[in-house]
Amino acid sequence: MIPTAAVAAEQPADSTAQAILDARAVFLRQEIELASGKPAYLVLDVSRGVLSVRRKHVELLAIPVTATVMVPGGGGDRRPVWPGSKFTLASALQEIERPRIDPPEKAEGDTTAAPVTVGDIQAARDRYLQAHPSRYRLTFDPGLEVEVLGFDPSHGEGGAGLGVRLGDAWRDLGHRLAGRERGLLLRVTMDEQLARRLYLTLEPGITLLIAPPDPR
């Protein structure tokens, strides 16, 4: 069963506001626990529209995103529930081979060492980043699928399909996690280069926290 921070079914607005405050309290306790260790972790902040990579409360990478909860079929009970849970990456990550940096070719008979330039190093870094996927799906336990869709900003953001924005759907999230056999699909769109950088920072078993909305 998914641990919950708050459940407010058919209750007045004041109760829902309190549920948000309780959920944020759970989230803050979870991040304090994660920040006390060395591994990096992910935080999807609903209010800011940002997916960040953090270590010890320090934001190493902040990615502007649009997060959409995919709801094929729609309908169902919509109790305002927030899971207050942290999610652990369960899917395997593709290993990308680092490119070699070969020195420039020397002219025949030239015995001097050919230097590796800053441009050579930067080009190798760019090739390494481009080798990472910009569209991929990650499985987190318990019961969460995250689909990362990188898009070319010059072409605009791709369609999100049938779904609701996470900021509007947070009350339903925990209920869906607890009640759907196949779990929940969370679609996250971002700049394709940032999607590659995100994949580059992922580690096996990395933790994802989803922050409830700001109560203000």
Does residue 205 carry a pLDDT above 70?
A: yes
Of 94, 35, 90, nearest in space to 206 by CA: 90
What confidence tens digit (pLDDT) does each residue in 85-98 have?
Answer: 789 999 988 887 76
What confidence tens digit (pLDDT) does each residue in 185-199 have?
Answer: 888 999 999 999 999
What confidence tens digit (pLDDT) does each residue in 67-122 have?
Answer: 877 654 444 433 333 444 789 999 988 887 766 666 666 656 555 666 767 777 77
Q: Where are the alpha helices (DSSP H) in the chain?
A: 13-35, 118-130, 166-179, 192-201
**DSSP-based three-state secondary structure for 21:** helix
Does residue 209 carry a pLDDT above 90?
A: yes
Does residue 9 carry a pLDDT above 60?
A: no
Average pLDDT over residues 143-158: 81
pTM: 0.70
Average pLDDT over residues 169-174: 52
Whole-angstrom distance, CA of residue 122 vs CA of residue 87: 35
Res 45: pLDDT? 86
Q: In sequence order, what are the residues at sequence separation of 6 or more whose Cβ sits closer than 8 angstroms to the Cβ of residue 1? A: 178
Res 125: pLDDT? 76
What class has domain 6-94+119-211? Answer: mainly beta
Whole-angstrom distance, CA of residue 107 vs CA of residue 90: 51
